[in-house]
């Protein structure tokens, strides 16, 4: 497993801040990507979803207002990924990656599995 750790996060998210605190306490180097300032591409999001071993629907924040307007019975995975790129609030967060593995850190303690 690669030693590089990357956290994809939103600074105002409490779960993101808690996950960052665990990473800081670990003493391991990591890269933090605020995907609101540095938006993900569709290809990058597909890569993250593959590393998570989930589907786009699995990382959808269904309680978001924008999600309620999606026809989840008929929307394609590509259209769902594009919706997440256009509105990052639709994605579960934070996502932490190390090598070929990734975790949604909800709860933040999930990050320990990658340390």
pLDDT tens digits, 60-108: 999 998 998 899 889 999 999 999 999 999 999 999 999 999 999 999 9
Per-chain mean pLDDT for the chain: 95
What residues are labeled active site?
Answer: 13
Determine the Cα–Cα distance for residues 48 and 97; give it in Å rounded to an integer: 8
The confidence score (pLDDT) of residue 1 equals 46
Tell me how far apart the alpha carbons of residues 12 and 26 are, in angstroms, rounded to a whole number. 22
Asked if 66 and 90 count as a contact pair (C-beta separation under 8 A), the reply is yes
CATH of domain 5-114: 3.40.30.10
pLDDT in tens, 26-40: 999 999 999 999 999
**Domain ranges across the chain:** 5-114
Q: Where are the alpha helices (DSSP H) in 3-108?
A: 14-26, 42-52, 65-68, 77-86
Terminal Cα distance for the chain, rounded: 11
Q: Give 3's pLDDT tier (boundaries 50, 70, 90).
A: confident
Say which residue the tokens 């998210």 belong to: 13
pTM of the entire predicted model = 0.93
Cα angle 53-110-81, degrees, rounded to a multiple of 5: 40
């Amino acid at each position: 497993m690669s030693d590089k750790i990357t956290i994809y996060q939103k600074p105002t998210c409490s779960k993101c801040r808690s996950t960052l605190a665990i990473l800081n306490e670990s003493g391991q180097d990591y890269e933090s990507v605020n995907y609101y300032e540095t938006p993900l591409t569709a290809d990058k999001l597909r890569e993250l979803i593959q590393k998570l071993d989930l589907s786009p629907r699995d990382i959808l924040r269904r309680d978001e207002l924008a999600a309620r307007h999606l026809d989840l019975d008929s929307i394609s995975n590509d259209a769902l990924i594009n919706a997440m790129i256009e509105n990052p609030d639709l994605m579960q967060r934070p996502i932490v990656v190390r090598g070929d593995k990734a975790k949604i850190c909800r709860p933040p303690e999930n990050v320990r599995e990658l340390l």
